[in-house]
Amino acid sequence: MSRVCRMGIMLVSLALMFGVFPGGGARAQDRLQVVASTSILADIAAGVAGEAAEVVSLMPPGADPHSYTPSPQDLVRLAQADLILIVGANLEESLLKTIRGAAPDLAPVTVSACVNILPFGEVSEAGEPEDHLPAGDVSAIAGQCAAHQDELASAGVLPSPAEGRLGPLYQLDCGGENEADGEHAHGRCDPHVWTDPYNAMLWALMIRDALSERDPANADVYAANAAAIIKALQTLVDEEIAPMLATIPESNRLLVTNHLTFNYYASAFGLKVLGTVIPGASTLAEPSAADIARLIGDIRANGVPAVFTETIANPALAEQIARETGVHFYTLYTGSLSEADGPAATYADYLRYNTRVITAALGGTVN
């Protein structure tokens, strides 16, 4: 057992024994304590919760979800939680054992359970639901997802294109960690669902339901906040995101990114991911010389005007490819928000910032 793990278990034990937690004083009993895995998920959850529940992010801004190692403080937060929210689709696969160890009696809620998943590699369309999906059998989850889709449709929100999708996450077996060698593998589902605002709206509804189940006295608050988030995101898409992206010339609507992060964004807004610097859905993979040569050839052959890297990853390879191909190089926010004083401090700012950078880089007009 590692030193960090031993320290974490000791801190959790002391906190539970004496009923106190970091920051001083006893655990607040008047509000639900919610832990969300990433800063992006925490922002959506905090918007739904409002003042009725306290939401913290397990990962700080700037953390890479693919490689994050929980601290002892994180273990204490998990131990005191009333509700734990994860993205699912194996984004947190390397953290699940830690989460279950710190909060063994609290099943995490997978907020992406109703999201129509894009593939990464080969995916089995008929599989058992992941064992960390929300409580209840498959038919109950299916009914919940149908209700959420109907609710969005009634609000005038159209779903993203279904072409190439595998179905809702709760129906899929995404694979996961390779137990033989201990290496983390994302499996066969693309977990980066939040880059499509429609999926974030589904998150808001799943979070609303989870909060309301645990705190029915504030159900009306959670419902009103979720509805406000959906309305605000749809306005952002209709009035800013979609109009900007529509100005990109057809020949330039190609994305070359650091790793496979923007599939959902591209699918939602009529772009195409031509290739990635790092092959795969995780920042932990390493490209071969042949991979890099192939990508350079594709960039030149298609006249791609820009290469995008990300704030959570080393940009060296992307910069090298940009130099060798003579194209411009830009940085996007992907798996994390910025710090509070940065340009992507909220999910709405994250979408707005990335869209402005992509639009300008590909020759469109920025509002």
What is the domain count for the chain? 2
Tens digit of each residue's pLDDT (9 = 90 or more) over 347-365: 999 999 999 999 999 999 9
177 lies in the same domain as 101: yes
In this structure, the answer to whether residues 254 and 222 fall within a common structural domain is: no
Q: Are residues 269 and 226 in the same domain?
A: no
- Do 215 and 75 lie in one domain? The reply is yes
Tell whether 215 and 309 lie within a shared domain: no
270 domain-assigned: yes
Let me know if residue 63 belongs to a domain.
yes
Cα–Cα distance measured from residue 133 to residue 75, given in angstroms and rounded to the nearest whole number: 21
Q: Tell me if 135 sits within 8 A of 107, measured CB to CB.
A: yes
Question: Same domain, yes or no, for 32 and 47?
Answer: yes
Q: How far apart are the first and last CA of the chain?
A: 53
Q: How many CB atoms within 10 Å of residue 365?
A: 11
Does a structural domain hold residue 366?
Answer: no
Strand order in the sheet with 306-310: 272-276, 254-257, 306-310, 328-332
Q: Is it the case that residue 127 has pLDDT exceeding 70?
A: no
Place of tokens 């190609």: 254
200 and 327 both lie in a single domain: no
Residue 64 placed within a domain: yes
Same domain, 121 and 211: yes
pLDDT of res. 174:
86
Is position 285 within any domain? yes
- Which of these three, 236, 269, 300, is where a domain ends? 236
Please check whether residue 367 lies inside any domain of the structure.
Answer: no
Which CATH number characterizes residue 71's domain? 3.40.50.1980
212 with 242, same domain: the answer is no
Strand partners, 273: 255
Q: List, for residues 107-124, the tens digit of each pLDDT value.
A: 999 999 999 999 974 434
Q: Which domain range does residue 146 map to? A: 3-236
**Helical pair 219-236 and 39-49, crossing angle rounded to 10 deg:** 120
Residue 13 lies in a domain: yes
User: Is residue 262 located within the same domain as residue 192?
Assistant: no
Inform me whether the pLDDT recorded for 17 exceeds 60: no
Question: Are residues 248 and 229 part of one domain?
Answer: no
Is this structure's pTM higher than 0.95?
A: no
In a shared domain, residues 267 and 309: yes
Tokens 């923007």, located at residue? 262
Residues in CB range of 175: below 8 A, 6 or more apart: 90, 185, 186, 187, 188, 189
Q: Which residue has the higher pLDDT, 156 or 258?
A: 156
217, 236, 255: which is the final residue of a domain? 236
What's the pLDDT tens digit per position in 258-304? 878 999 999 999 999 998 887 655 555 677 888 899 999 999 999 99
Of 204, 236, 268, which one is at a domain's C-terminal end?
236
Q: What is the mean pLDDT of residues 160-176?
A: 89
pLDDT score, position 314: 75
